[in-house]
Structure 1
């Protein structure tokens, strides 16, 4: 081709035909591999890989964040209700969650002691 023999190569030399057949057969093999990899992409994935892909979507992350906010809000409401039932001085003292739990344990133990006496 460098020598300007492009027309003679295209006019039917057997070497050119063989080269063209090899090139087209290689292209066909590559295309078939691409088709297989794209069709088997989702079916060949393990359950964990499919789960990771699903979790990577924006829709899933938004829904998960909403569920998490609802869960945390319910958790905080439960702590607030428990806090209202516990006697403290002063009554409006702000307590951390761990302090509320420890105070609840002590208060339950005290009430249990009162019932036994």
Structure 2
């Protein structure tokens, strides 16, 4: 079993070979550059993913009480405020 200490070993403990990597002809043939079509499709998928992510944060933001209500919050602030608000609501239910 791996311990946390083993996973968090200092960088100096790792032996890294910085030599040149030799690829066979077949490996070179398999490693093709991404085509413009592929890059474009990937960029489109990433844009859609980021838009969905930002939309989810906007929806979460609408559910959180702040003063003023239209105050701009960063994503980390939204998450922290959500954690605090959920804790508060749990406390209210327990009382």
What is the TM-score with the length of structure 1 in the denominator?
A: 0.56
* Alpha-carbon separation, structure 2, partners of 1:56 and 1:74: 25
* Alpha-carbon separation, structure 2, partners of 1:101 and 1:45: 44
Q: CA deviation at 1:116?
A: 0.6
* Alpha-carbon separation, structure 2, partners of 1:85 and 1:56: 42
Q: Does 1:109 align with 2:91?
A: no
In structure 2, stretches of 5+ residues that fail to align are 1-24
1:68 corresponds, among 24, 46, 57, to 46
Q: Does 1:95 align with 2:77?
A: no
- Structure label with greater radius of gyration: 1
Q: How many positions carry a matched residue from both structures?
A: 71
Q: CA deviation at 1:106?
A: 0.2
* Alpha-carbon separation, structure 1, partners of 2:73 and 2:91: 24
Misfit runs of 4+, over 4 Å:
none
Match of 1:81, SS state, is: helix
**Cα deviation digits, residues 10-57 of structure 1 (max 9, x gap):** xxxxxxxxxxxxxxxxxxxxxxxxxxxxxxx6xx337xx63x41x521
Structure 2 counterpart of 1:25? none
1:79 corresponds, among 30, 35, 57, to 57
